Amino acid sequence: MIIHLKSSTSEAEAKVLAEQNKAVLFKDECFVLVTSSKVKEANAALQLAADKIVVTESDIQLAGKPYRADKRTIQVADWSIGGHTQHTVLITGPCSVESEEQIEASAQLCVETGVRVLRAGCYKPRTSPYTFQGLGLNGLLLLDKMRQRFGLRIITEIRDSSHADEVIEYADIVQVGAKAMYDQSVLRKCGKSGKPVLLKRGFGSTLQEFVQAAEFVLSGGNSQVMLCERGIRTFETKTRFTLDLCGAVWLKKHTNLPVIIDPSHAIGFAYGVADLSRASLALGVDGLLIETHPNPAEALSDAEQQLNFDEFRALKNSLSTLATALGRKLI
C-alpha cells in the first residue's frame, strides 16, 4: 500500500507512522510511505494522515501503472526521455574502456553521429578472475575527460558495492549491471544518488523480480529509473541470450518506467544487432544500448558482439528513417 501523507505532516510524524506500519518512507513532493502489498486496508491513523492511498496487488508498487498511469520522465542534462516525449535515446560505446585512444575514437563516433550518451564499463563483471577486469578508477577518469572534451553524457556500470560511490560520482546515468540486479546495497545507494539509473534485468530474473529491484531505488526517493531488457538465459545456445521482447511489451503495459533495450548482449553476435535494434525501435522503446568498438576483433571483452564504426553509421541511418515512419524521435 502506498500512502501520500498530507503536506502538513512533519518529518517526525512521518517517521513515527513509518515505524508503526513497518513502512518504507521517502520524500517526493510529499512524504510517501510504502508498506508491504499484503496490507490491504489502512488503519485509522494512516487514514487520518493520508492525502491519497493506493492499494497494490503485488510488491510492484511505485513502478506500477495502478499507482501512476503516466510513464515517468527521465531528465538528463537539457533533454529527456519517457513521459510524452516519444524520444528514443541512442547510447553507444565499447564494452570496456581500454585506453584513451580507444575511448576517444568512440567519443568522436558519438559526436559524428549525433549520439548524446557514451557508454563504457570500467569495472567488468567477468565470470573468470583470470581475464581483463576493467581499468577501474582510471577508466572513470578517462570517461570524465571525454565528457568535458566532447560534451557527451556518460553511462557506466556498477559491478558491486565496493566501487558504487565512485561510479555514482562520475556517471551521468548510473548503470546497474545484470549481475548486480539483486544487490540491495547498490540499489539503495542508487536510490539516494539523485542520478538517473539504468537498471539491467538479471538474465535469470523474472519480470516481477526485475521491477521489484527498481522498487528499491524508487522507494529510496529516486524516481529516475529506466528498465533495460538485455536478454535472458534459456535453453537456446546458438545465441548468447534470448532477447525477451514479450517481456519488454509487458513492462510497457504494466509499469510506469521507460524501457531500454540492449540487443548487443542479448544476441552476442554483431550480425544480429541491426535487425534487433530496428525491431526494438518498432516496438516503441525509449532507448537502445548498442556496443561499438573501433576494432572489434581486438576488443578485450565482448569482441564478437561489438559493431565496427561503419556498421553503426549504417544502422543509425536506417533507425532514423524508421523512427520517422513510427512517429518517434531518435535522439
- Residue 7 in 3-state DSSP? coil
Site for its own copies in 267-326 (CB under 8 A): 267, 271-272, 275-276, 278-284, 321-322, 324-326
Question: Is 73 in contact with 226 (CB distance < 8 Å)?
Answer: no
**Sole residue written with cell 568512440:** 106
User: Near its own copies by CB under 8 A, which window of 6-14, 42-50, 235-243, 307-315?
Assistant: 235-243
Question: Is 264 in contact with 273 (CB distance < 8 Å)?
Answer: yes
- Pick from 252, 293, 316, 328 the residue near its own copies by CB under 8 A: 252
User: Judged by CB under 8 A, does residue 97 bind its own copies?
Assistant: no
User: Judged by CB under 8 A, does residue 156 bind its own copies?
Assistant: no
User: Judged by CB under 8 A, does residue 233 bind its own copies?
Assistant: yes
- Pick from 43, 99, 204, 298 the residue near its own copies by CB under 8 A: 204
User: Judged by CB under 8 A, does residue 34 bind its own copies?
Assistant: yes
User: Judged by CB under 8 A, does residue 82 bind its own copies?
Assistant: no
User: Judged by CB under 8 A, does residue 128 bind its own copies?
Assistant: yes
DSSP state at residue 292: B
- For residues 165 and 149, give the distance between their C-alpha atoms in angstroms, rounded to a whole number: 23
**Sole residue written with cell 515512419:** 325
CB of 150 to its own copies, least distance (A): 31
**Sole residue written with cell 558519438:** 110
User: Judged by CB under 8 A, does residue 48 bind its own copies?
Assistant: no
- Pick from 156, 212, 264, 301 the residue near its own copies by CB under 8 A: 212
Helix (H) or strand (E) holding 287: strand 287-291
- Pick from 113, 249, 308, 311 the residue near its own copies by CB under 8 A: 249
Backbone angles phi and psi of 216, in degrees to 5: -60, -40
- The residues that bridge with 200 in the sheet, in sequence order, are 228
- Pick from 88, 96, 175, 205 the residue near its own copies by CB under 8 A: 205
CB of 312 to its own copies, least distance (A): 17
Instruction: Show Cβ contacts of residue 11 under 8 Å, excluding neighbours closer than 6 positions.
Output: 31
User: Near its own copies by CB under 8 A, which window of 86-94, 96-104, 146-154, 159-167?
Assistant: 159-167
- For residues 247 and 12, give the distance between their C-alpha atoms in angstroms, rounded to a whole number: 41
Site for its own copies in 56-75 (CB under 8 A): 59, 61
- Pick from 120, 207, 288, 315 the residue near its own copies by CB under 8 A: 207
Q: Name which of 259, 253, 196 is nearest 66 in CA terms.
A: 253
- CB-facing half-sphere around the CA of 193: CA atoms within 13 A: 29
- Pick from 172, 244, 286, 302 the residue near its own copies by CB under 8 A: 244
